Chain A
């Protein structure tokens, strides 16, 4: 099963892992979960939609990343997953 990971666990960053799956599954842990988990999930869903991905599992460990960082790390993880042989 192909997978890709990107990002770090440093402050203002996020570590995101994406792997092939039978359907769409998103798991988020965040230091600001109570306030921002919906926003983080929206960024992830929008990015997957833009990339045309429906059958993937995304695990996001957020350390206070802004939207652009979440999107960048997810795009990198997707790219790495797709490059995996």
Chain B
């Protein structure tokens, strides 16, 4: 305790007072501390680094790819991996290494875009439905149920049938399919947080609904949403593959991991590398998203944060 004069001696601090060093420790900005803690989780750190690499590859794809995506070389058809073609070549003699690099941009863009659409719209709907309840909840969630009732692929096909194929519309279609998932996850989480005493406490000092939602309800309801986001990124990449396989997503000859996987399926018994490398790319990306999502969820929780920081100090 500092020696500030008080009208009456401050009641003696309880036992745990001693455990709290009275130094200010908010010197480092919040996000730097978050990054620092994230780096302590090996799985999250490696995943983050790998994802950064994948994103960089996707951004600088044209510069990195040894050949163009659609350069056909008839005499090099179905070559196994070699020094010249690290990932081998496909049935038209196209370099799979180059196509995997160029496909990263397509797959990631669709994945991010789709999840962004689902996250923003779905979470907003779930937030409002969960917080206000009553008829707002009834109306919004019944609409979500209607969306949910359609089989995912059928709904995506319907959207693409209306809007026409292409990677932008694929992202939109996948995003729409995932809106009810985010709405449900968010609503369930909000329903729990809404009844917390600290929300009522905040209301008791005059906070507006907007303030309650943005400062208290959303941050405390976020962990399941973060996990859902990382899982959905993975599923969106796979869904793009499925739609491309059906001929509705990325249009050949443009490369996307899903489309390459689908095209390679026919050659799986004579040329495994056609499907293997794009498959590995999807697998690694999805795994990294999940591990990073888990790490992020832990780091964003102040209670976990203290445990982690305490363990290292």
A, B: real partners: no
